[in-house]
Structure 1
Amino acid sequence: MRLLKLVDGFELFHLVDFDADEVPDYAILSHTWGPKRDEISLQDIQHNVAHIKSSYSKLQFCAQCLRKHSLQYIWVDSCCIDQSNSVELMTAINSMFRYYQNASICFVYLADVSGFDASRNPVEESVWHAGFGNSRWFKRGWTLQELLAPETVEFYTQDGRFLGTKHDLGTQIQGITSIPVLAIRGSTLTKFSVPERLSWAVGRETKLEEDRAYSLLGIFEVSLSVIYGEGRINAMRRLRAEIETRERQRAEDLYRRSVKDGTSIGAAFERLEPIAEPRTSPSKVQDLLDQVIGSISTLVPPLKAICNGIIIPEWIGVHNERCSSLYTQLRSSGCQRPRSMDFNPPFRTARTSCGGLWTFHYQLFRVELNLLPLLSESDVIDFHLTSGEN
Structure 2
Amino acid sequence: MKFDLLKKDKNTKARAATLTTDHGVIETPIFMPVGTVGTVKGVHQRELKNDINPDVILGNTYHLYLRPQIEILEKAGGLHKFMNWDRNILTDSGGYQVYSLSANRKIKEEGVKFRSHIDGSYHVFTPENVMEIQRSIGADIIMAFDECTPYPCDYNYAKRSMHMTHRWLDRCINHLDNLPFKYGYSQAFFPIVQGSTYKDLRKQSAEYIANADAVGNAIGGLSVGEPAEEMYAMTDVVCAVLPEDKPRYLMGVGTPINILENIALGIDMFDCVMPTRNARNGMLFTAHGTINIKNRKWADDFSPIDEMGITWVDTEYSKAYLKHLFSVNELLGKQIATIHNLGFYLWLVREARKRILAGDFDTWKTKMVAQMDKRL
Q: Same fold (TM over 0.5)?
A: no
Which of the pair has more CA radius of gyration?
1
- With normalisation by structure 1, the TM-score equals 0.25
- With normalisation by structure 2, the TM-score equals 0.26
Higher relative contact order (CA 8 A, sep 6+): 2
Structure (1/2) with the larger helix percentage = 2
